[in-house]
A and B are shown apart, each in its own frame.
Chain A
Amino acid sequence: MTTSLSLQRLSWDQRRKLTGVLFVLPTVLFVVVFFIIPLLMTFGMSFYDWPLFGDHTFVGLQNYTDLAKDRQFLKSIDFTARYTLMITPPIFVLGFILASLVRHNIPGISIFRTIFFMPVVIGLGVSSLLWVWLLNDQVGIINKIMLDLGIVEKAQLFMARPDSAMAVIIISVIWKTVGFTMILLLAGLQAIPDELYESADVDGAGYFQKLRFITLPLMRRTIALALILSVIGSVLSFDQFYIMTGGGPRNSTISVVYWIFNNSFTYFKMGYGAAMSIVLLVVLVLLSAVQFYLLRDNT
């Protein structure tokens, strides 16, 4: 009774304030418990030797100094960087071409937009399981088509060589993600007023001149957003390598997240994994900072 009495004694204003706090409280609790605290814990754990069972012991900066000497970690950084550099341009260029193709509202265009976007809603894990079959040397349809067309003489073991594994994984991920870039760029393209192109036509500008002087400058922010989201996704990639190559051949396709996963949940060196996570986190926060810088409101 006392609480309800004291509630009634509160003014309308104070009650509004309390209600507001109660409305956001569950969300704030979730974020604090399942995000902020784990985030701080990652930082804390990175200074410990932390096995799955048994005691954890404080080791100072040991994990971080070990990192610098961990050749597989450095190899993973190199691999992830190469993967990101190799997949970002084709996703962007193809996304741009698709966006240009579906830009105008000609009959049936929404069907094409939908088809190009469809793979985006499929999980990356499941799409990797699909592609691992398509690309298989024995039962895969892609090898069958290439054999029948005479492109190759015998079935290719795509996952057996680092460069071909990288190439086919990139193709499969482009298929799965390019629709997302397309939609972002399409929104940017459609925001450009038609009059600009019309007056350029009057002045006799060609396609590439219009691209260079109208489309690209006016889409600067959208392009930046599409690129940075694509880069972030690639830096964090894991599913496609875990499923399609298992990190092989000879540990050549182990991404950073994959190496963190192996250390933390296969070898159970969780403190060490936490230290690597912190490195990853710093890189990602820097990337996000670049994103916000590029997208800042100039107006």
Chain B
Amino acid sequence: MTTNIQPNTNVVFSATDQSQQQARRRRNRLFLAMRYAVLIVLALLFLFPIVWSFLNSIKPPAEALAVPPTYLPTTIVLDNYMELTTFGRIGVVQHVGNSAFVALLTVVGTIVLSTLGGYGFARFEFRGKNIMFIMVLSTLMIPFQSILIPLFVMLSKVNLHNSLFGLALVYITFQLPFGIFLMRNSFLAVPKEIEESALLDGCTSLSVLYRMMLRLVLPGIVTVAIYAFINSWNEFLAALIFMTDQNNFTLPIFLTNVRSGLYGIIDWGALQAGVIVSIIPSLVIFLLLQRYYMNGLMGGAVKS
């Protein structure tokens, strides 16, 4: 604790000056305390849905169905999670696997295409380059919701409408405008001299990209990967339309069927267990790689 007395200063504070200063300091401290109080209340409100969903998921199944509900679990068990594994015909594991498969395929596809494309758009000159770049980016203006009908018709023609692979192809396309935009900017930020000497030494463009550039644009790649994962893991409408066979349902679609009681009465405990299972991957990735996620938001939205 510091005191306000400063014996060696040349300035002589009058008594009123000092008390004014003290008053202002006290007021600032009060404001700060109030700010924290408001922040804490709001934070609790924001955490409340997730926390209670989690608490409900670890109740015994019978307690999770109790009317009226209990606030806190009387005993903590993982029965709801176990129950979820045998839900419906197939169980949650298969659906988590479906979602993970689609998400990983989307991530890999988006990274490969965006890196190659971003490098091409950033470093090469060829006819039609600007038109192609504008074409890729302008798809951002068009809502994907408006092209789902022909996509469904197209994919069913080639028997990809009920396939997780087909769904991933669609997701990759939806991720490409952002991926290309971000990777092109990442490559543009790398000084040209770095590759020029290697190119003059006779390295191919692909090996320059692979051996030198990848490391330098890694933050961009991580950002693109995070968005591709979270968006495809969470996507609802396209998965609902394209996946007609229960075996291929992604996690959100499966959970919607749990909720609508398609597998018998609504099992609220199992549903909240499912909600927690689908929240965890996005949340963990976001919390661990927050910096990259925010970079994407700023690079993709604010600067555009």
A147 touches B68 (CB 8 A): yes
- Measured between beta carbons, the chain B residues less than 8 angstroms from A136 are 268
Of residues 35 to 57 in A, which have CB atoms within 8 Å of B's CB atoms?
35-39, 41-42, 45, 50
Q: Once the chains bind, are B69 and A140 in contact (CB under 8 Å)?
A: yes
Using CB atoms, name the residue of chain A closest to B141: A288
Is the pair B255, A118 in contact by a Cβ cutoff of 8 Å?
Answer: no
Binds A, one of B7-15, B75-83, B85-93, B231-239: B231-239
A13-21, A69-77, A81-89, A159-167: which lies at the interface: A13-21
Does residue B169 face the partner (Cβ distance < 8 Å to A)? yes
Q: What residues of chain B lie closer than 8 Å to A173, measured between beta carbons?
A: none
- Is chain B's interface secondary structure helix, strand, loop, or mixed overall? helix
Is residue B43 contacting chain A, with contact meaning CB distance below 8 A?
Answer: yes
Q: Do A274 and B149 form a contact, CB below 8 Å, given A27-B117, A34-B170, A125-B236?
A: yes
Find chain A residues with CB under 8 A from B154 CB.
37-38, 41
The verdict on A121 contacting B283 (CB below 8 Å), with A114-B290, A141-B71 known, is: yes
Cβ of B123 within 8 Å of any chain A Cβ, yes or no, is: yes
A101 CA to B240 CA, complexed, in Å: 39
Residue from A130, A155, A236, A246 with most neighbouring chain B CB atoms (10 Å): A130
In the bound complex, what is the Cα–Cα distance between A147 and B112 (angstroms)? Answer: 54
List residues of A (191-245) whose CB comes within 8 Å of B's CBs: 222, 225, 229, 232, 236, 238-239, 242-243
Chain A: minimal CB distance from B3 (Å): 23
A270 CB-CB contact with B under 8 Å: yes
Check A122 against B279 for contact (C-beta < 8 Å).
yes
What number of residue pairs across chains A and B have CB atoms under 8 A from each other? 261
Least distance between B129 CB and chain A CB atoms (Å): 7
Listed residue (B64, B124, B272) with the most chain A CB atoms within 10 angstroms of its CB? B124
- Whether A183 contacts B47 by the Cβ 8 Å rule is no
* Smallest beta-carbon distance B110→chain A, Å: 10
- B172 close to A (CB within 8 Å): yes
CB neighbours of A265 from chain B (8 A) = 152, 241
Instruction: Tell me which residues across on chain A come within 8 A of B169, comparing CB atoms.
Output: 30, 34
Q: Give the CA-CA distance A20 to B187 in the complex, in Å.
A: 14
Could you tell me if A101 and B35 are in contact, using CB atoms closer than 8 angstroms? yes
Instruction: Say if the beta carbon of B2 comes within 8 Å of chain A.
Output: no
User: How big is chain A's contact interface, by range?
Assistant: 35 or more
- Does A168 count as interface, using CB distance less than 8 angstroms? no
Q: Are B49 and A131 in touch, CB under 8 angstroms?
A: yes
Using Cβ atoms and an 8 Å threshold, which residues of chain B touch A150? none
Interface membership of A267, Cβ < 8 A: no
Asked if B149 and A16 make an inter-chain contact with CB atoms under 8 angstroms apart, the answer reads: no
7 tightest A-B CB contacts, nearest first: A20-B124, A123-B234, A23-B120, A41-B150, A27-B117, A125-B236, A24-B120
Which B residues contact A (CB, under 8 angstroms)?
32, 35-36, 38-39, 42-43, 46-47, 49-50, 52-53, 56, 64-69, 71, 112-114, 116-117, 119-121, 123-127, 129, 132, 135-136, 139-143, 145-154, 169-170, 172-173, 176, 180, 205, 230, 233-237, 240-241, 252, 255-256, 259-260, 268, 271-272, 274-275, 278-279, 282-283, 285-287, 290, 293-294, 297-298, 301-302, 304
